Amino acid sequence: MGLFDSKKSHQAGQVDMSRLPRHIAIIMDGNGRWAKQRGLPRTAGHKVGAEVFRKIATYCKELGVEYLTVYAFSTENWKRPADEVSTIMGLLKQYMLEAIESMERDQIRLKFFGDMSAISPELQEMVERTNAISREIDGFQANICLNYGGRDELLRAARAFAADCVAGERSADALTEAEFGEYLFSAGIPDPELIIRPSGEVRLSNFLLWQCAYSEFYFCDTLWPDFNERTLDEAIIDYQKRDRRFGGVKK
């Protein structure tokens, strides 16, 4: 079975298929609390959460969403217990191995946002392999934020732009938002129209700080391991009810 294989057809209900967001971003939160409620180790929650990611990525592709970005591991998550970090990295390795085998067949691109220098050499090599495969594919793209922080992304972009200015390749006075966006991990990808955070927390937690400028937010109490296709439908339906004016006035 490939990373995003699924025989299940979507049950969109009231979702307007003609007005789907091109890009959905999700903060996958609540794995630890889900496990604690069941008397299980936090690592058990991450294992179930990884399966939920597989299902939701598959469902997004089936619906016709073009991009899905998920917050898998932040720059702050290294502070967690060593066994928990090890489990997360092990799950990542497992799914990357599956992805390498199935991406071309299923026409699915996989991209990683974040500082890859902190992960193991083995995982870094896998990231390079998925990047190479993705360059040959057109289709749905899943972006995984790994060792990622929104502020860190902005600092890296600013440093890279400054270096290009010093080298005479860019002019600081001519900098535009579009040009600055070329230095972000998300270069070439449209900003998310919809950002979802399950688990009852109501904050961004350093996620896509530049890209979220005009995103619509959807918060729900569902813990990530309990998140399913219907939960995503409800988020999309709520998004489709909103009047997006981007600072203007509706005529």
| Cα–Cα distance, 142 to 19 (Å, whole number) | 20
- Where do the DSSP E strands lie in 46-156? 67-74, 109-113, 141-148
DSSP letters of 141-157?
Answer: EEEEEEEE-HHHHHHHH
What span, in angstroms and rounded, lies between the C-alpha atoms of 25 and 195?
5
Nearest CA to 182 out of 204, 205, 156, 145 is that of 156
- Answer yes or no: 29 catalytic: yes
> Of 31, 77, 106, 115, which one is the catalytic site residue?
77
Q: Is 83 a catalytic residue?
A: no
Which one of the listed residues 29, 31, 143, 147 is annotated catalytic? 29
**Cα radius of gyration (the chain):** 18
Instruction: In whole angstroms, give the CA distance from residue 66 to residue 138.
Output: 10
Q: Is the dihedral of CA 180, 183, 187, 191 positive or negative?
A: negative
Instruction: Point out the residues that are catalytic.
Output: 29, 77
